[in-house]
A and B are shown apart, each in its own frame.
Chain A
Amino acid sequence: MSFRIIGTGMYVPPKAVTNDDLAQIVDTNDEWISKRVGVKERRVSETEFTSEMGAKAAQAALDDAGVKAQDLDMILAASVSGETVSPSMACMVQHRLGATCPAMELNAACAAFLYLLETAAAFFALHKDYKRILVVGCERMSGILDWTDRSTCVIFGDGSGAAVLERGEGYLDSVITVKGGDDVIKIPHFLGCSPFFKTEQDTPYIHMKGQETFKYAVTAIAQDITTLLERNHLTIDDIAWIVPHQANKRIIDFACHKLGISTEKMFVNIEKYGNTSSASVPMALHELKESGKLQRGDKVILCAFGGGLSNAACLIEY
Chain B
Amino acid sequence: MVQEKIIAMLAEATDTDASEITADTKFADLGIDSLDMTEMAMDLEDEFGITLEMTPELNTVGKLAEAVEKLTAEG
Mask: chain B, 29-48; 1 = CB below 8 Å from A; 0 = not: 00001110111011000100
In the complex, how many angstroms separate the beta carbon of B30 from the nearest chain A beta carbon? 15
Select the stretch in A163-171, A180-188, A210-218 that faces chain B.
A210-218
Assess whether B33 is in contact with A258, with CB atoms less than 8 Å apart: no
Q: Which of B25-75 contact A (CB under 8 A)?
A: 33-35, 37-39, 41-42, 46, 54
Specify which chain A residues have a CB less than 8 angstroms from the CB of B38 in the assembled complex: 211, 214-215
> Total A-B residue pairs with C-beta atoms closer than 8 Å?
24
Q: State whether the Cβ of A36 lies closer than 8 Å to any Cβ in chain B.
A: yes
Specify which chain A residues have a CB less than 8 angstroms from the CB of B33 in the assembled complex: 35-36
Q: State whether the Cβ of A250 lies closer than 8 Å to any Cβ in chain B.
A: yes
Specify which chain A residues have a CB less than 8 angstroms from the CB of B39 in the assembled complex: 250, 254, 257
Expressed in whole angstroms, the Cα–Cα distance for A109 and B34 within the complex equals: 24
Tell me the count of chain A residues lying within 8 A, CB to CB, of chain B: 12
Mask: chain A, 32-58; 1 = CB below 8 Å from B; 0 = not: 000110000000000000000000000
Assess whether B42 is in contact with A258, with CB atoms less than 8 Å apart: yes
Specify which chain B residues have a CB less than 8 angstroms from the CB of A254 in the assembled complex: 39, 42
Q: Which of B8-33 contact A (CB under 8 A)?
A: 33
Assess whether B42 is in contact with A211, with CB atoms less than 8 Å apart: no
Expressed in whole angstroms, the Cα–Cα distance for A254 and B33 within the complex equals: 15
Q: Which of A203-227 contact B (CB under 8 A)?
A: 210-211, 214-215, 218-219
Mask: chain A, 8-23; 1 = CB below 8 Å from B; 0 = not: 0000000000000000
Specify which chain B residues have a CB less than 8 angstroms from the CB of A211 in the assembled complex: 34-35, 37-38, 54
Mask: chain A, 240-261; 1 = CB below 8 Å from B; 0 = not: 0000000000100010011000
Specify which chain B residues have a CB less than 8 angstroms from the CB of A210 in the assembled complex: 34-35
Interface of B is mostly: helix
Specify which chain B residues have a CB less than 8 angstroms from the CB of A219 in the assembled complex: 42
**B39 nearest CB neighbor, chain A only:** A254
Specify which chain A residues have a CB less than 8 angstroms from the CB of B42 in the assembled complex: 215, 218-219, 254, 258
Expressed in whole angstroms, the Cα–Cα distance for A254 and B41 within the complex equals: 12
Specify which chain B residues have a CB less than 8 angstroms from the CB of A36 in the assembled complex: 33, 35
**B54 nearest CB neighbor, chain A only:** A211
In the complex, how many angstroms separate the beta carbon of A106 from the nearest chain B beta carbon? 30
Specify which chain B residues have a CB less than 8 angstroms from the CB of A215 in the assembled complex: 38, 41-42
In the complex, how many angstroms separate the beta carbon of B7 from the nearest chain A beta carbon? 19
**A32 nearest CB neighbor, chain B only:** B33
Specify which chain A residues have a CB less than 8 angstroms from the CB of B35 in the assembled complex: 36, 210-211, 214, 250
In the complex, how many angstroms separate the beta carbon of A15 from the nearest chain B beta carbon? 29
Specify which chain A residues have a CB less than 8 angstroms from the CB of B37 in the assembled complex: 211
Expressed in whole angstroms, the Cα–Cα distance for A222 and B48 within the complex equals: 18
**B46 nearest CB neighbor, chain A only:** A258
Specify which chain A residues have a CB less than 8 angstroms from the CB of B46 in the assembled complex: 258
Specify which chain B residues have a CB less than 8 angstroms from the CB of A214 in the assembled complex: 35, 38
Specify which chain B residues have a CB less than 8 angstroms from the CB of A250 in the assembled complex: 35, 39
Nearest first, the 7 closest Cβ-Cβ pairs linking A and B are: A211-B38, A214-B38, A211-B34, A254-B39, A250-B35, A215-B38, A214-B35
Interface residues of A (CB under 8 A from B): 35-36, 210-211, 214-215, 218-219, 250, 254, 257-258
Interface residues of B (CB under 8 A from A): 33-35, 37-39, 41-42, 46, 54
24 contacts between A and B (CB under 8 A): A35-B33, A36-B33, A36-B35, A210-B34, A210-B35, A211-B34, A211-B35, A211-B37, A211-B38, A211-B54, A214-B35, A214-B38, A215-B38, A215-B41, A215-B42, A218-B42, A219-B42, A250-B35, A250-B39, A254-B39, A254-B42, A257-B39, A258-B42, A258-B46
